[in-house]
Amino acid sequence: MADDKTIFEKIRDGEIPAEIVHEDEHCLCFRDISPQAPTHLLLVPKRRVARLTAAGQADGELLGHLMLASATVAREQGFAESGYRVVINNGPDGGEEVPHLHLHLLAGRRLEWPPG
């Protein structure tokens, strides 16, 4: 049978390693394997939603939880005061590579705007 788990579901299930920095009932946060800033974390819901445009009303609570969890992680990791950027890449033009919703948390340097 084809294994159609995303890489983030494999991390969630302990099938591939990741440096996990935060976990709660609904989400997991770990270091990006290819960091684009001194601190680059991925905040991933345990229940897979493919992307923002695949989310429905039933996912609203989970989406809110992820936003609040990003601030919890920022405080725990010490970059709440210095600041950070939250990025969601949605679809091909957004640069989405993994079809499992995730928030990029980028911190540790002054980020430019607009992004490339």
Residue numbers annotated as active site: 102
Q: Does 77 bind ligand AMP (CB under 6 A)?
A: no
- Residue 17: CB minimum distance to ligand AMP, A: 8
Q: Where are the beta strands (DSSP E) in the chain?
A: 20-23, 27-31, 39-45, 84-87, 103-107
- Of residues 22, 48, 89, 108, which one binds ligand AMP by CB under 6 A? 89
In this chain, which of 38, 83, 91, 95 binds ligand AMP, going by CB under 6 A?
95
Q: How far, in Å, CA of 9 to CA of 16, rounded?
A: 9
Apex CA 32: angle with CA 30 and CA 33, to 5°?
120
Among 7, 21, 55, 111, binds ligand AMP (CB under 6 A): 7
9 binds ligand AMP (CB under 6 A): no
